[in-house]
């Protein structure tokens, strides 16, 4: 007897369904549903940061950058098992960079009481990184400066990446001088070319623990808004946002950022030691 078409279809339907499911599985992205699926598929984590210092000239000494952004991105890549590429993204382009997949994550500063481009945007999830700071002055210990009002007309020096420091110095009428890296600004302070240096207050304390900074440990009262470092991710990518929030809880519990800050202070102190071409005029 020749089987009917209906009976043939009924017999073959389970096998056909299995074949369809297998084909769908092959067509689906290998990392779909995982945290950082796009980065895993690409084979690298791309992180957008506010400022990427220009490469040092050929043969020049490598120097420590102002911000911890590249260090934080590298640590996150280690946890994911992915190489990291950092790119500079302007604030106005943050949301578009995330939405378009140009970057997997962004690092930005959220200033207390201020709206920041790219943060207060639908579709962007904000995850605190656990780092917050405001600018703090580095001044010779024998200074007569006591108040920010006295800074007007004085030379105040900082890294090009120290955006809040530049705004604070300009607010008080200082002559703002920027340098490629913080060690250059601090050398200028030690050698008398700058009246004041500005670095983050989170970094100031560890730096001042070094004996050679005792003669440059004067400062001014805290001023300016506190800036909180935050990660920006696509709000719809729930697995990535959840993984990132958990990773930041681990960082806080393990003292990861504190270790980064302490290393920064050691590295910058050594940079200054190597950069200072002549002994500072106060024997420090």
Strands 175-179 and 45-49: unpaired
- 212 found inside a domain: yes
Of 105, 127, 130, residue with least CA distance to 36: 105
**Helix or strand (DSSP H, E) at 267:** helix 256-275
Element (H, E) at 15: helix 5-27
Residue 64 in contact with residue 264, Cβ under 8 Å?
A: yes
Average pLDDT for the chain: 87
36-68 confidence digits (pLDDT tens):
999 999 999 999 999 988 777 777 778 899 999
Spell out a b/e string for 30-53, using b for 16 or more CB atoms within 10 Å of the CB, else e. Answer: eeeeebbbbbbebeebbbbbbbbb
* Residue 63: domain span: 37-133+226-271
C-beta atoms surrounding 75 within 10 Å: 18
Q: How confident is the model at residue 284 (pLDDT cuts 50, 70, 90)?
A: very low
Q: Is the pLDDT of residue 9 over 70?
A: no
* pLDDT 10s digits, 249-266: 999 999 999 999 999 999
Closest CA to 164 of 49, 50, 48: 50
Euclidean distance between CA atoms 248 and 257, whole angstroms = 10
The band of 160, judged by pLDDT with boundaries at 50, 70 and 90, is: very high
Residue indicated by tokens 């990446």: 161
Residues 6+ apart with CB under 8 A from 9: none
Domain stops at, among 210, 225, 240? 225
Q: Output the domain CATH number for residue 57.
A: 3.40.190.10
State the total domains in the chain: 2
Listed in order, strand segments (DSSP E) in the chain are 45-49, 84-88, 105-111, 124-133, 135-138, 155-159, 175-179, 196-200, 227-234
Residues 206 and 145 in one domain: yes
| Domain membership flag for residue 185 | yes
């Amino acid at each position: 007897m020749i089987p009917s078409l209906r009976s043939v279809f009924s017999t073959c339907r389970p096998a056909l369904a299995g074949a369809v499911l297998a084909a769908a599985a092959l067509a689906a992205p290998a990392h779909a549903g995982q945290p950082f699926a796009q980065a895993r598929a690409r084979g690298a984590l791309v992180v957008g940061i506010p400022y990427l210092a220009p490469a040092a000239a050929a043969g020049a000494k490598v120097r420590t950058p102002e911000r911890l952004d590249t260090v934080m991105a590298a640590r996150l890549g280690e946890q994911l098992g992915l190489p990291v590429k950092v790119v500079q993204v302007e604030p106005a382009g943050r949301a578009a960079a995330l939405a378009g997949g140009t970057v997997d994550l962004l690092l930005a500063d959220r200033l207390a009481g201020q709206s920041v481009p790219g943060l207060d945007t639908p579709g962007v999830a904000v995850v605190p990184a656990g780092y917050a700071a405001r600018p703090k002055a580095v001044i010779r210990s024998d200074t007569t400066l006591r108040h920010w009002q006295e800074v007007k007309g004085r030379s105040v020096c900082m890294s090009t990446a120290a955006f809040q420091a530049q705004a604070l110095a300009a607010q008080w009428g200082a002559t703002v001088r920027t340098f490629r890296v913080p060690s250059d600004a601090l050398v200028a302070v030690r050698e008398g070319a700058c009246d004041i240096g500005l670095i983050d207050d989170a970094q100031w304390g560890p730096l001042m623990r070094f004996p050679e900074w005792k003669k440059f440990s004067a400062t001014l009262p805290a001023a300016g808004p506190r800036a909180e470092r935050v990660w920006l991710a696509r709000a719809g990518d729930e697995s990535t946002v959840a993984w990132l929030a958990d990773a930041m809880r681990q960082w806080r519990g393990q003292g990861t950022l504190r270790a980064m800050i302490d290393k920064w202070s050691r590295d910058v102190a050594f940079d200054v030691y190597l950069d200072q071409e002549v002994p500072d005029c106060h024997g420090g």
